[in-house]
Amino acid sequence: MKLDFLVVAPHPDDAELGMGGAIVKWTRAGKRVGILDLTSGEPTPFGSLEIRAIETQKATHALGISWRENLSLPNRRLESSLEARTRLAEVFRRTQPRWVFGPLPIDAHPDHLAAAELVNAARFWSKLSKTTMAGEPFHPLRIIHYYCVHLKMHSTPTFVLDISNEWSTKKEAIAAYESQFIQGRAQSPSFLEQLEIEARYWGKSINVLYGEPFLTQEPLGLTDWNSVV
């Protein structure tokens, strides 16, 4: 399948956390949206390969997407190696997404940092000719970074997307990962409540109920002003 948007996630659940609302919005609008998880995300304290696979299937169904794959790179040891770069570039060449989304290149999690570097490297690698990589050369138009970070930080995003109508579905997709966000988390506010606080904060920044922030390193162009809020 050729995709309009491809979301590259270090682990299953990162795409849902960082931009689940955007995925739902664009899928409902008829866009072809896919998620590529780089690793299994396991081991974790309350998860397993089998549990995470079931949770990922539930989250995928909630999001409404029909394309999701896992590159099966090593969790906790993810590296922007030549082999990983080649495999990701081949996915770009196969799915030909116009826009690629990856994690923010500022984080405490080594896998997230490696994933951000890997996405940028694979985008360049994907356009190369005279190579043994499968597929025809292809260069995604833009890389856009979503916020799914393990740092208590605040940065100024390039834009914030209104996900007021999609928030409840995003929350459902995140809650599907019970082993990650519900089990063993006896805290107040709960993890899901904290996410809602963050979504409301970003929504307030653009005068809507819920929002998702994004960062670009290259400028975005506008053809008109109709969609700016």
User: Please, which pLDDT band fits residue 229 given cuts at 50, 70 and 90?
Assistant: confident
DSSP 3-state of 211:
strand
Task: Give the chain's domains with CATH numbers.
Answer: 5-216 (3.40.50.10320)
At 184 the pLDDT is: 87
Instruction: Provide the mean pLDDT of the chain.
Output: 96
pLDDT at 27: 98
Do 102 and 8 contact (CB within 8 A), yes or no? yes
Torsion angle of the four alpha carbons 217, 203, 228, 33, in this order, in degrees rounded to the nearest 10:
60
* pLDDT digits 0-9 by tens, 75-110: 999 999 999 999 999 999 999 999 999 999 999 999
pLDDT on residue 205: 97
The pTM of this model reads 0.96
pLDDT at 26 over 90: yes
Instruction: Express each pLDDT in 113-134 by its tens digit.
Output: 999 999 999 999 999 999 999 9
Q: Check residue 227 and give its pLDDT.
A: 80
CA distances from 16 to 20, 98, 175, 195, 222 (A): 4, 20, 10, 11, 27
